[in-house]
Structures are given as C-alpha cells and as structure tokens.
Structure 1
C-alpha cells in the first residue's frame, strides 16, 4: 500500500483561524489582527501579500492594513518588499509568541507599580480595596520575577524539541 500524505482540510483550517481569532478577541486582541496572524500561521507559504490575506479572509485589502500595522508594531509579523513591485509580503516573525512575551515583560512591572499606587490611594493593604489591589500588585510582581526563568526553561525545552540528544 502506497503512502499517501495527509490532505489539508481547507474548511477545517478556516474554522480553526476563526476560532483562534475569536479566542484572542475574548482576551482583548483585535479580531482582524487575530484572523491575520492565524491565517499567516496556517499558510504553507512563508509569506503572503495583503491581497492574498484579504482573499483568504474574504475581506478587502484595506481591511487588512490596520491589522498588519498592529502586528508589525507587536513584532509578530515582519514586512518584506516584493522585488520589482510596490507590494509587500508579510510573514510571522520567528518565535513570535516568545518575542511578544519578552517585549511585554516591562508591562508587568508597569502594572505592578500602578497597582501599588492604587494600594496607597486606597489607604493601604488593610482596606478592602487596598487588599484587592495589593493582590494584583503581588501577582504581577511575582510573574515579573519568575518570567525570566520560565523563558529560559522554554528556550532549553525548544532546543531539546528541535535537537534531541543522541540516543
């Protein structure tokens, strides 16, 4: 019996893209940006133009531009010129989820510091509002303190996944 590679299910892939975009939107991520990022992730091609993204998503190329700007700003997507054309192609940045997490780590400290100001404004940790804000401050301070070790563990894990030790 001859080997037959798995067949791509375009309908299931479109459903996956929409479901993931909806999940990210539930967390506050712009819906179109989610659709674009998962269309890029689901593409077998390394990069797509705005027109190709628009065609796959059933929207106008103009509808793609804001999402692309947002994703480029987050450093999740890179813009590459198409030689001999005025068009650009867009691709996922290598290890983009890691890069976004690293870039947003300073936000954790900012949130923790802001919550600490709220604790003081509420009259301290012994007030009901101060206790809730202190919990938020302490959580984000803990995440900030522990994130570098977690990211280092991920890097080591990723290295083992892609370069397993010899048997």
Structure 2
C-alpha cells in the first residue's frame, strides 16, 4: 500500500479537528486503522498533529544516511561477537584466545594477520601471539604463510577435531571403567564401574557415528 501523502495527512488533521475517530478517517482514506493511529502517535506534538510537520519528519527519516544503518549493523555484529566469546569461555577457552577465535570467525576475510588481530582486538602484539599460539596448539586455527607474514584461519575441521578429542577422552574413561569392573568384580564398586563402562561405550559409539555422518556439512 502506498505511503501517506501530504494530502492524506491534511485529511487526517481535518478529520481529527471535526471529531472523527481513527477508524472513520481510515475508512474514508481506504487505509487500515492501524496506519492512521501509528501516523498520529509518531508525529503528534505539543500542538497536536500537524500534517506539514509530519510530512517533513517522514521525509527526514527516509533520508537518514546509510552510515546510521552501518553503525547499527556494526553494533549488532559486535554484540554477537561478544556472545560468541562468552560461549567459548564457557567451553573452557581462556579469554584472549576466545576473543581471537571469535574475531576470526566473524571476519569478512577468510584469514587475518597478527597485525590485523591486534588492530581489531585493540590489544598488544604479545597478547595476540600468545592467543594464536594457544589456538594453534589445540588445533582450532591453522597458520598459512603469505610472503613474510603469517595469516591465521579458523579451520572448518577444528570443531570436528575438538569433538573427536572429547570422544577419545570418553573412550579412555570407558576403558578405565572396564578395568575397574574387572578388578572389583562382583562388588558394589564393580557394579558401578560396569554400569559406567556400558553407558560410556554406547554414548561414545553414537557420538563417533554422528561425527562421521555429519562431517560433510563442514565442507558443503
């Protein structure tokens, strides 16, 4: 439906002056009642609803520079990056590696140099160096040589490797539990160990099967 014109706004003002309700004004303009009520609520001032002022305000809102939208978008992206950092910290990441990894994930570029990370994170080169060393060490990022500079990439395979590492840890728990079940035999401790081993074995088997089944999504 086309936007309200100046003539429409003057009709609204005249209708209100004549005591017409929003529904009647809307009917005569062939508009939804909500359009009229929002128009008045958005533009009413200390001197009531002024159609010429309402027209000017509407035009000004339509001419807002794109910079405002860009600032709003950047603010939203920054807030999302903060949420991602919080999730990574909850997973056990130290704060600076979490910030560096989140930065790599939300960057428009496929990779960032250490200098770019310093500028984006507003921290010292030493802090970035320690962060990327930590992330490289646990396989969450990989380093690529670009001339005399190194570029860091948030590896698509990182989460697969991380989850596989968790599964391997569970395998180790299951093996220890199985040994305990054998060692303690037909005792309360042995029964607890046997139950633990059975549960971990089944869960781990399902996890590994799921990882293998959905790994292709990382490269689609």
Does the TM-score normalized on the shorter chain lie above 0.5?
yes
Residue by residue over 1:5-62, the C-alpha shift from the partner in whole angstroms, topping out at 9 and shown as x without a partner, is: x968222222222222222212322222221111101001011111211221121121
From the CA coordinates, give the structure whose radius of gyration is larger. 2
Distance 1:66 1:126, change over 3 A: same
Q: Pick from 8, 13, 24: which aligns with 2:88?
A: 24
Structure 1 length as normaliser, TM-score?
A: 0.71
C-alpha separation between the residues in 1 aligned to 2:160 and 2:73? 28
Q: Pick from 70, 73, 79: which aligns with 2:143?
A: 79
Matching of residue 47 in structure 1 with residue 107 in structure 2? no
Matching of residue 102 in structure 1 with residue 164 in structure 2? yes
- For CA contacts below 8 A with separation 6 or more, give which structure has more relative contact order: 1
2:128 matched residue in structure 1: 64
Distance 1:71 1:9, change over 3 A: same
Q: How many residues align?
A: 152
Distance 1:115 1:75, change over 3 A: same
Distance 1:142 1:11, change over 3 A: same
Once the two structures are overlaid, the 10-residue window that deviates more, 104-113 or 55-64, is 104-113
Structure 1 position 123, deviation (Å):
8.8
Give the structure with the higher percent helix: 2
Indicate conservation of the 8 Å contact 1:109/1:140, yes or no: yes
Runs of 5+ unmatched residues, structure 1: 1-5, 163-167
Structure 2 length as normaliser, TM-score?
A: 0.56
Indicate conservation of the 8 Å contact 2:160/2:215, yes or no: no
C-alpha separation between the residues in 2 aligned to 1:14 and 1:120? 54
C-alpha separation between the residues in 2 aligned to 1:64 and 1:126? 51
C-alpha separation between the residues in 2 aligned to 1:117 and 1:29? 32
Structure 1 position 115, deviation (Å):
4.7
* 1:9 alignment partner, SS class: helix
C-alpha separation between the residues in 2 aligned to 1:31 and 1:144? 30
Matches within 5 A, 1:1-167: 9-83=73-147, 85=148, 87-115=149-177, 126=188, 131=192, 137-155=197-215, 158=217, 162=220
